[in-house]
Amino acid sequence: MKREERYRQVLDYFRKEMPEVNTELEFGSIFQLLVAVILSAQCTDKRINQVTPALFHQYPDAKSMAKADVDDIYEYIRSVSYPNAKARHLAAMARMLVEKHDGEVPMDMNQLTALPGVGRKTANVIQAVAFGKSTMAVDTHVYRVSHRLGLVSKSDNTPYKVELKLTKHIPLSDIPLAHHWLLLHGRYVCTSRSPHCNKCGLHDLCPKLIEDSRLEH
């Protein structure tokens, strides 16, 4: 099967099965989304959603968090992965937003990735979810599913290469949704260990390229 046809069938399936989809992170503003995405690195959305209500109650915006000590932020996020580093990133990120952007989250990629704790993946999430841009964030789920479904090749061996291949073949209007389609499929169906192939609607289409499909850290 040609790659273009594979993309067409995969996208048609997701359009039908998940016509409306969004991040599972809970937030009340773009700033809170940014905080949640930073915290979600190598941690489950479920855990982040348990932590952020109290954090956002105490620090609802950049200006309030910019005044916080790192140790104070740490106490709210101590149960997430790498809490010390993330507390430092959040404090510094909030201060930079206040100092350079009047407390508002910018939409420009370079300005986003200049913020402490914000890499390309996080910036792409913010651009897509908050600003509706056609950006593709590649996390471990997106990386794994893209390889297993044959949407990318073995030579696409970095998140950035996968991002470029996906955005080349996926229509612009679908790209913000496609991130969530692939992510959720990887989270609940095409799991890293013991994928649920018997429950997968793409079972007959999937080449099941399981070997070496997991992102190396």
Last residue of a domain, one of 131, 160, 184: 131
Is residue 209, in this structure, part of any structural domain at all?
no
Query: What are the pLDDT digits (tens) for 87-103?
Result: 999 999 999 999 999 99
What's the chain's average pLDDT? 93
pLDDT confidence bin for 211, thresholds 50/70/90: low
Do residue 143 and residue 163 come from a single domain?
A: yes
Last residue of a domain, one of 107, 131, 155: 131
Give the end-to-end CA distance of the chain in Å, rounded to a whole number: 31
pLDDT confidence bin for 217, thresholds 50/70/90: very low
Q: Does 72 score more than 80 pLDDT?
A: yes
Query: What are the pLDDT digits (tens) for 122-175?
Result: 999 999 999 989 999 999 999 999 999 999 999 999 999 999 999 999 999 999
pLDDT confidence bin for 212, thresholds 50/70/90: low
Supply the range of the domain harboring residue 160.
Answer: 3-21+136-199
Do residue 127 and residue 140 come from a single domain?
A: no
Do residue 89 and residue 166 come from a single domain?
A: no
117-142 burial, b at 16+ Cβ within 10 Å, e below that, comes to bbebbbbbbbbbbbeeebbbbbbbbb
CATH of the domain at 82: 1.10.340.30
Tell me, yes or no, if 121 is annotated catalytic: yes
Is residue 204, in this structure, part of any structural domain at all?
no
**Catalytic residue (choose from 121, 156, 165, 168):** 121
**Catalytic residue (choose from 61, 86, 139, 156):** 139
Q: How many domains does the chain have?
A: 2
Do residue 79 and residue 144 come from a single domain?
A: no
CATH of the domain at 192: 1.10.1670.10
Q: How far, CA to CA in Å, does 147 sit from each of 75, 142, 214?
A: 38, 9, 9
Is residue 216, in this structure, part of any structural domain at all?
no
pLDDT confidence bin for 215, thresholds 50/70/90: very low
pLDDT at 109: 96
Tell me, yes or no, if 2 is annotated catalytic: no
